[in-house]
Amino acid sequence: MIDKISDWGQHTKSIVLAPTRELAIQVTDELKSFSGNHKKLNFLTVYGGTSINDQIKQLKRGVDVVVGTPGRVLDLIMRKKLILDEIDYFVLDEADEMLKMGFIEDIESILAVSSNHKKVFLFSATMPDRIKKLSKKYMQNQIIIEVKKKFDAKVNIDQIYYRVNHSNKFNALKTIIDFSDFFYGIVFCKAKMDVEEVTSLLKKSKISADCITEILNNLQGRKF
C-alpha cells in the first residue's frame, strides 16, 4: 500500500481501522518505518480519549494515511473533517475483534461514505458470518487468502535437558558444543552479568561467540 499510494495531493489516500488505540499506534509506527525516506507521506493516528481538535488541525494540513479506531474516525466524518470519498485503500485490521467490541455498525457507516473505487483489505483471525456478509457487500471480486494449518515449528527440534549443579553449568555447555559436529545456537541467561560471563568464558575456550546486551539494556525496568 505504501509503495502504491502517491505522495502528492492534499486528500486522504488510505485509511486503516483498528480495534484499539494501542494497535492503531503500532500500525502507524510500522507504516512510517515502511515508508522510510523515499516517500514524504503524512500519517495521523486518531482515537478517543485525546483532543479531537488537534486531530482536526492535522487533517486540515493534509494527511495521506489515517489510522484509527472506528468510533473516533466516524466522529471526524460526522463533523465533516475527515473526507474519504477519494481514498484508494481501506484496511480493516482484526475485523473479528472489532465485531466483538460492537464496532461493526460504525465500520459499515464509514465504508458507506468512502470512495467507490477503493481497494478493501480485511484481516481477521476468524471469519464469523457477520464479517463474511460485510466482506461480500463491500469487496467486489474478492480473493480469500486463508491459512489452513499453523506450521509446527517444533517438528524438527529435539528437546533435551540436563540437570547439573550451578558450578558445572559452563563445563556442561562446553561439553555439548565440543561433542557436536556443528554447533550454531543461542544461549539464554538469567541476567546481563551472566550473559557477559558466559560469553567471556566461551571466547577464552576459543569458541566463536558474542553477546547481545543492547537488547537487555532496553528491556531493563520494563514490566511484562
pLDDT tens figures, 129-163: 888 888 888 888 888 888 776 666 667 778 889 99
Taking the domains of the chain in order of start, what are their residue ranges?
14-138, 166-219
Assigned CATH topology for domain 14-138:
Rossmann fold (3.40.50)
Q: Give the integer Cα–Cα distance in Å for 164 and 170.
A: 10
Q: Report in angstroms the alpha-carbon separations of 188 from 2, 111, 169, 185.
A: 37, 48, 12, 10
pLDDT tens figures, 162-220: 999 989 999 999 999 988 878 888 999 888 889 999 999 999 999 989 888 655 555 55
Look at the block and give the residue holding cell 495521506.
64
Check if the beta carbon of residue 66 is closer than 8 Å to that of residue 99. Answer: no
pLDDT tens figures, 68-113: 999 999 999 999 999 999 999 999 999 999 988 999 999 999 999 9
Q: Give the integer Cα–Cα distance in Å for 61 and 104.
A: 30
pLDDT at position 201 is 94
Q: Give the model's confidence band at 128: pLDDT under 50 very low, under 70 low, under 90 confident, else very high.
A: confident
Residue 224 has pLDDT above 60, yes or no: no
Average pLDDT, integer, range 105-127:
92
